[in-house]
Each structure stands twice: as C-alpha cells, then as structure tokens.
Structure 1
Amino acid sequence: MVEIQKTPPEPLAPIPFNIAEPVRETLPNGLRVVLVEEDRVPLVSYRLAFFRGDAHDPKGAVGLTSATASMLTEGTEKYSSRELAERVERLGAGISSNASDDFTTFSASTLSIYADEILALMAEILFRPTFPESELDLYKRNALENLKYQRSQPNFLASEQSARLIYGHHPYSVVSPKEADYERLDRESLVKYHDSAYVPNNAVLIVVGDVERSELMSQVGELFGDWPSHEFTLPKDEPIPARDDRTLTIVDRPGSAQANIVLSNIAIPRNHPDHFATTVMNQVLGAGASSRVFMNLREEKGYTYGAYTRIDAKKQAGDFEATAEVRTSVTGDSLKEFFYELNRIRDEKVRPEELADAKSFLTGVFPIRAETQDGLAGLVANQVMYGLPDDYLQTYRENIDAVTLEDVQRVANAYIHPERLAMVIVGDADAILPQAKEYAEDIEVFDAEGKKK
C-alpha cells in the first residue's frame, strides 16, 4: 500500500552562487575593463557599455541615440552590412547594438576559440562605421511602420500617457520618437553623434567567459588603447514634477471590449538603498501569479487574465506601476480592488508566510539567472552600469533575506501613493468614464494619436 504524504517535503538546500572575483582595470584613455573569468563552457560574452542612452538625446533630436546604436552594425569601411552579417554568422557568433533610457550597449558573444576575431570585429564596427544611406532609409521606413503598429496597441498608448504624467518634461517621459523625429534623421547627424558620444572615458568593457586575463588585456590595449578620449557633456535633465493629486487620463478607443489600466507614481532609482525592500514588497503585492493583486483580480474576481505591479527603476529615477487588462464592464470594480490592495499593504503588515514565500522565491530564482553565461554577463553589466556595490551579486540573497515585515510596510508607505496616482485607462471612454470618474476630479481624455479631446 502506498502511503500518501500529508505534509510538503522540506525545501532543498540553497543553490550555491559562486562567481569569480571580477578583475577591474582602466586604460590610459579612461576605458574601464571588467573581467569575470568563467570557464564552465568555452564561450565569451562582451558588453561595451556607454553611460549615455535615449534620455541623453540632444535637444531637438529625439531618437538619435537609438538610431546611431542600431545603425552601428550596418556596415563598416571594410564590410558592407551583408558581409558583416555573413562574417558573424560564419563564426557562429552574435553581435548587436542598442540603446535604453540610460545606456548604449554594444554586445557580442562567441565560442572562445573565436574570441580574438570577434573582439577585433567589434573594434572595426565601433571605429569605422559607415552608416550607409540605403540602410538608414530602411531603418527609418521600418521604424515608421513599427510606430503605426505601436499606436494600435493599448499597452503602448497607456505607457505613453503614464510617462508623460509621471515624468513631465524629463527625458524619461518619451517612450518613442514621433514620425517627425524619424523623418529628421540623416547620415550627417549619426556620424556627428557617433564621433562625440562614443568616447572611452564614458564607457566600460565587460567581459565574461573563457578568457585569460593577460591575453585579454593585451588585445584590449592593442585594439582600444589608441581610442582618443575627450571631454563630453550630457544634456541637462529637467526636474521631475511633484504630484499633489490623483488624476484620471482616458485614451479613447470607441467600441473596445477591454480596458487597459495603469496606475503609477514616482518611486526610486535603481541604486537606491531601499531596492531590496521594495523588491520584496513588490513580490508580495503584484510581481507574480501568487501575489495579492493577481489572486484578487484574477483568481477571486475573474476580472482579468493577469494583474501585476512593478518597480521600474532607472538610473536617475523610477516609478511604481499597477497594471491589468480587464473587461470594460468591470473597470470600476477593478479600480476598487486595486485601491484596496494598495492601501492594505500600506496599512497592515504582510503576513509572515507571505514574506517568507516572497524571499524564498527571490533568493531561489536569482542563481538561475546566472546559469547561462549571457545571463551572468547581464547581471555583471547591470551591477557595473548602475554603480551598484562591488559585492552586489555575492550578497544579493543575504540582502533579500534581511528584509523584515516592518521594512515592507515602510517602503510601501514611502513609494506607493494612492492619493497621488496617475490613473491611465485605455478603452471606450463613454463606457469607462461613468465607472472611473469618482476616483479623480482632474480628468482628461485623449484620442489614440495622443491628441486631447
């Protein structure tokens, strides 16, 4: 007879998280190099990161940073765009370049036997890009088509309004260039921006993988040592506006059967001391399928397939968001439950078992993120680029475990402000407004093109 176990098994021992101590060096031209030797597999990953992103677009040139980054790999003095792609493919490697709000990152990964060739190819791309007119025209056409698609997506429309309301005139308020911004791009602007923005004294080369320190530094010095440094300035940031009241913004999509809800307010930047406490708090509140808002709005009420919260922490600032896509007819009921949960986590301590579950999940999943070399490279890159402590990765689980019930309630009160939320709802305004108007006196309605009605 099989005996049925009536209690769950004891949890497994924590997975060890051991990574080599990073080696840090700086070239005479100011280029920082961070190396993590990792020989579990014969691979190597490179990240050349510049501390300059979309938020640092020159005045009147929205989209220039991303365009320059994307076009970087579309041809050099030695290779056309096609020849470059074929060479990378023959080596079984990958090369990409892109910009985020705060950084521009030029990445490559390959088998370690081709590491020297790929690093040399990165130098070729970095120092001798041609920004072909034909490729730029293709980039602009694709970007304009993608913009049309984005404007048909409720999530994009909600993000556009939320960023405007939260960040005001700060560059973080821009979620995408507009049609005129793309049309304005030209090859001369890309060349000029590349020459002024891609400087070694505002960059760091992160290398993770099966490489030997002395050999790497010798090649880095040979390829990047003569890269001239020069003074640079970043555009002055606009202040982030303070919010005094709760507001309601509706993006009207007549006839829509669904309402996309985004509730947001300013929170913390990525390197804030409360990062670990807010991470745990958010895990309890809305980060996953066992969180409070998910269990409430989906499992108990059946209003949506998913309801979530997150802390979007960037270099200079961050925001808290609560989101759900619900049936139009239950928009008001969904708002009621959101505010119930937002107030509850502020007013009451979470249960000890909720805290334990959240910490167990976060500490358990963390080592998995470093199982692949690319994942480990991403973790190291984030640590370096956001200026996190040198032991951030090694002490991550310890810091998560140190969060208390009191910490969770404290940060909930500090960074969730139901009375000052920017409420954005995308859907049928005629159906939504009667359900949502009780939550704010300041109400505005826009069309899908972002024009006020």
Structure 2
Amino acid sequence: MDNPTEAFRHQPPAPLPLRTLSIPTPEELTLPNGLRVIIIESRRLPLVSIRLAFRTGDAFDPPDLPGLSDVLTHMLTEGTVSRTSRQIADEVARIGATLNAGANSDYSTVAASALASYANTIFELLADVALRPSFPEDELQLTKQNTQQNMIAQRAQPSFLASETLARVIFGKHPYAVVSPTVESINAMTREQLAGFHRAAFIPNNAVLLIAGDVRRDAVMKRVEKLFAAWQPGEVAQPAWPPLPEREARSLYLVNRPGSAQSNIVIANAGITRTHPDYFPLLVMNTVLGANASSRLFMNLREAKGYTYGAYSSVDARRFAGTFRASAEVRADVTGASLKEFFMELERIREVPVADKELADAKSYLIGVFPIRLETQEGLIDQFMQIKMQGLPEDYLLTYRDRVNAVTMTDVLRVARAHVTPDRAAIVVVGDAASITDQIASYAADIEMYDSAGKRQEVNVADTVGDD
C-alpha cells in the first residue's frame, strides 16, 4: 500500500522559471587593414581565450588539392620563421597554455588559451604561428605520412564510408562533396603551395580576432595593434560554386563490407543553410524526431524494436548548403526492418501534427541545454565565433530561447513537409552486401554498390521492386 505522504514521488517536479542569461556585451573594433576585433570582457576567472578565425575553410581548397586547408592549419604550429616546432611546444607547455589550429568546411581557426598573467605571451605565439609559418620540409613530410595513415584508418570505419558516399550524392559538384583528401593530393602538396595558399587565404580583411576573459579593452587593443597592424590585406575569394543536384526520386547506395555484422544506415536529403529562416522550427522538429535518447527514432528502433543501440536524426546547416539526415547502426539481419521503421517515422513527422507534450518537451530540452554551451569561457567565445563565421544576427544568443519558444505545432509540420523528403531521399547503407541486398532492394528503383575504396561494383539482386 502506498504511503500518502510519498505521493509526490510519482510526479516530476515542475520546471523552474527561466533565469535571465548573463552574457557579456562584446565590443567590436576594426583595424585599418580590415581585421575585425571582438573583445568580451569577463573577469570571473583569471583566464584569457583567443580565436583568430578566417572565413575560408576546406570548401575553398583547390579542386586538385583536397585537404590543403587541413594540412596547412596543422602545419601552422610546426614551425615559424623564428621558432621550431619544439620551441613552440615548449613555450606553450611552460606557461600551461593551449595553442592549436584547424579547419572545417566553412572556416579555419587558430585558437589559444592561457592564464591572464601570460596573455601577452600567448598572444605573441598565436600571431607568430598565424602570420609567419615556415612550413618546414621535414615536418611537412611527417604530416603527410601521418595523414595517409589516418586515411587508411578512416576507411576501416563504416561511419566514414557512409559520410563519404552521402556527401558525394547530396552535394554533387559542390565542394561540400569532398570529405577527405586523396593519396594523390597529399603527395602533391609542397611547401610552396602551402605558403601561397596561406598568403591568399590568411588575410586580415577575411578574419575576425576574438578575445575573451580577464582583459582590459585599451590594453588589448594596444597589443593587437602591435601584433597585427602591419598585416597586409588581400583579395577575399568570392565562391562561385555549382548548385546541389536536383533529386527527383529515392536512390540507394550500398557500400559493401563483406562479413560485417552491422549495417550503417543513413537516410538524407539536401537541407538548409545556417541563416535560413526555418532554422529554429527545423531544430525543434528534429528534436522531436531524433536529436536525443527520448526522441521518436530512438524510442522506436532501440526501445521498442531493439534493432540498435541508438537511432538519431540531425540538421547539418552550414554557410552555403546543408543536409537533413537520419542514421543508425543496426544488426545486419534487421537492416530492411530498420529501413521500414525509419521511413514510417519520416512520413509520420510530415503527416501528423506533433503532440502538445512532444512539442513542449522538445522546447524544454533545447532551452535547457543552451546555457550549458555558455557556461565556460571557451564555450562562450566559440559561440561568438560561430555568430561571426556563419553570419548570424548579433542578438542571436540573447534571442535564442525566445525563438525556440515561438515555434508552433503548425511550424513543425510545415518545415517537416518542406525539408524532410523521404520520397526523394538518398539512402546509404554500409554493410555486408551478401546478407542485406535482398532486404533493402525494395526501397529504391535500383542500387549502386561500391567497395570500401569507393569503386563501383555490380549488384546481384533476385528481385528489385520500386516501392517499399
């Protein structure tokens, strides 16, 4: 018999009212050479974080040298005109700092952090690696060897094979179609090519310098001017890339991994850019459908069916294009059954309005996790960097929760119908062709099959049907 005094344990507590976000107000200045400087003063901790970000990423690589931006950014900390790789590493370690660089499809970043007492030191190190890299030949050869070993390891991962195939299918001749360098492009890279690309892409009028933490505006600007004022501007590349392929029907691509006990499934269609007005409704819709462990896909394919450890969907909204995708790794013997459940859920989110509780839970989740991204200084500066690199509104952080809350049931249904298109989806399955081909054949008019190296293979299907 239940104890009446314990009744409260059967009801979850009501959510607390939203607290006002405490976000420091950034101050923006621009140097004569075009470098935009964002200063975010926050004295909670004696730390300083720095980001030097360029609106040039992997998508801007020369067509014959995919991977150039990744190799270039890796090489920035491997030697400068005045320092060797070892000297850079030792100086960073001596002050307990971090200094690294990297690139994604849309932009490249040099990032640093240190105790505020070492701000001048880490600032000078960051400027040195960003502006005066020497691309030492011995370090370049080592980077090439390591990159090629990583490429071999990548091809052993079904998730990489699925992403590679999907990008090629969805993006066509757009640069986003390239997700990895080739052996030929890595071998072809030279110091001169890296230096030339660096001169063209790493220019102040295509960059934003963000400084956050225990700093003072006037002192920071004096340091910035000393380190960066002589940096010469250049011509900013204006991309003229082809549009994404128009998809007229569902298509299926099988990457054969003989003997694989699992199938990696990805179902996708072209999506939206990061600044699209449907971004927030689509974010809420995706949270209902498959963003977390309480979403529909997870509850169906894992909890109800037991086909997988997790099934999810995602909105990949980039600067120039994007995708919507649903994915899972499932047992090989339930590959076809998993596709059936995926398409059932994709159709349901398009045809049936979401329940009030689902909508409320999705909004609560998004609003609840949002402040976590701003809790640390590193998280805060990265959010401001995203705003600048993706061209988001200046009030993006302050209005995020309001824009999530404003999404209605009608909005969710509208964006699902507009941006989730299962009848024209690309289906990519990585698995053992011998055991799964017959299971999946009915989900498209035909199947294109490839090996793990990306080479086309013949498909043997007893009976291929055009409808599922």
Return the TM-score normalized by structure 2.
0.95
Give the conservation status (yes or no) of the 8 Å contact 2:270–2:323: yes
Give how far 1:59 is off. 3.0
Determine whether 1:410 maps to 2:414.
yes
3-state SS of 1:47 partner: strand
Unaligned runs of 5+ in 2: 458-468
Match of 2:455 in 1: 451
Distance in 2, matches of 1:327 and 1:123, equals 50
Q: Would the aligned equivalents of 1:58 and 1:235 in 2 still touch at CA under 8 Å?
A: no
In the alignment, the residues of structure 2 paired with residue 349 and residue 127 of structure 1 have an alpha-carbon distance, to the nearest angstrom, of 53
Structure 1 CA distance for aligned equivalents of residues 169 and 252 of structure 2: 10
Aligned residue for 1:330? Answer: 334
Q: Is 1:76 equivalent to 2:92 in the alignment? A: no
Give 1:78 deviation, angstroms: 1.7
Shift of 1:15: 3.7
Paired residues for 1:197-346 under 5 Å? 197-346=201-350
**Match for residue 134 of structure 1?**
138
- The reply on whether 1:397 has 2:401 as its aligned counterpart is yes
1:375 to 372, 379, 384: 379
* Residue in 2 that maps onto 1:63: 67
Deviations 1:350-401 (A, max 9, x none): 0000000010011011111111110111111111111111100011001101
Identity value in percent: 52
- Are positions 1:96 and 2:88 aligned together? no
Partner SS, residue 78 of structure 2: coil
Contact 2:253–2:447, Cα closer than 8 Å, also in 1: yes
Q: CA deviation at 1:191?
A: 1.1
Distance in 1 of aligned mates of 2:393 and 2:87: 41
Larger displacement relative to structure 2 (57-66 or 79-88):
57-66
- Runs of 4 or more, structure 1, over 3 Å off, are none
Match of 1:162 among 137, 161, 166: 166
What residue number does 2:29 align with?
A: 25
> For residues 68 and 238 of structure 1, what CA distance do their matches in structure 2 show?
25
Q: Which residue of 1 aligns with 2:182?
A: 178
| Structure 1 residue 36, shift from structure 2 partner | 1.3
TM-superposed deviation, 1:221: 1.1
Q: Tell me which amino acid in the other structure corresponds to 2:63.
A: K
Q: Following the alignment from structure 1 to structure 2, what is the Cα–Cα distance between the partners of residues 403 and 130?
A: 51
Contact kept in structure 2, 1:383 and 1:389, CA below 8 Å: yes
Change (3 A) 1:255 1:227: same
Amino acid at match of 1:333: A
Give 1:77 deviation, angstroms.
1.8
Aligned AA (1:3): T
In 2, the alpha carbon distance for the partners of 1:236 and 1:388 equals: 21
Cα displacement (A) at 1:235: 4.6
Q: Which residue of the other structure, out of 2, 5, 16, is the alignment partner of 1:3?
A: 5
Shift of 1:7: 2.1
Whole-Å separation in 2 of the counterparts to 1:16 and 1:115: 31
1:111 matched residue in structure 2 = 115
Find the aligned partners of 2:281 and 2:113 in 1 and give their Cα distance.
34
Unaligned runs of 5+ in 1: none
Post-superposition shift, 1:234?
Answer: 4.2
Give distance in 2, aligned partners of 1:70 and 1:301: 44
Deviation for aligned residue 1:212: 0.8
* TM-superposed deviation, 1:13: 2.6
**Which one-letter code corresponds to 2:40 in the other structure?**
V
Structure 1: how far apart are the matches of 2:191 and 2:132?
14
Q: Distance in 1 between matches of 2:4 and 2:21?
A: 38
Matched with 1:421 is 425
What residue identity is the alignment partner of 1:368?
I
Q: Secondary structure at 1:228's aligned position in 2?
A: coil
Per-residue deviation, residues 250-301 of structure 1 (Å, max 9, x unmatched): 0011111111000000010111111111111000000000000000000000
Mapped partners of 1:336, 1:320: distance in 2: 18
Q: Contact 1:75–1:81 at 8 Å: present in 2 too?
A: yes
How many Å separate the matches in 2 of 1:69 and 1:304?
A: 37
In the superposition, the TM-score normalised over structure 1's length comes to 0.98
Listed one character per residue, the Cα deviations across residues 311-366 of structure 1 (whole Å, up to 9, x for unaligned) are 11111010001000001111111000000000000001000000000100110111
Classify the secondary structure of the residue corresponding to 2:219.
helix
SS at match of 1:3: helix
Contact 2:65 2:186 in 1 (8 A): no
SS at match of 1:423: strand
Question: What SS does the corresponding residue of 1:249 show, helix, strand or coil?
Answer: strand
What's the offset of the Cα at 1:3? Answer: 2.2
The DSSP-based 3-state class of the residue aligned with 1:73 is helix
Corresponding residue for 1:190?
194
Q: How many pairs align?
A: 453
